[in-house]
Amino acid sequence: MTKFTQEDLLQYLYKETSQHKTAAINAALETDWNLRDSLEVLSSAQKNLEEINLSPRDETLNKILQHISKKEGQLHSH
């Protein structure tokens, strides 16, 4: 029986495994409950990551825009 790593399972989740490895993981998932549990944990984490909406705070954006404005002013004054 082949031992699969978390990296193997992540590649499997993101459909980055070869056809041979995908078939081997599918076969192992039918009988290996620990592997199935590991895949479920990674799959759940994947779904949670996809739901995270990251964006900078308004304060950060304003500071960036102020910095750009200042730099543009310096370029035009020379």
Domain ranges of the chain: 6-76
How would residue 35 be classed by pLDDT, with cut points 50, 70 and 90? Answer: very high
φ/ψ of residue 68, rounded to 5: -65, -45
pTM comes to: 0.64
Contact assessment for residue 2 and residue 24, using Cβ atoms and an 8 Å cutoff: yes
CA distance 16 to 2: 18
44-59 tens-digit pLDDT: 999 988 888 888 899 9
What is the structure's pLDDT at 52? 82
Q: What percent of the chain has pLDDT over 70?
A: 94
pLDDT greater than 90 at residue 30: yes
Q: Which residues contact 4 (CB under 8 A, 6 or more apart)?
A: 24, 25, 28, 35
Nearest-Å Rg of the Cα atoms of the chain is 23
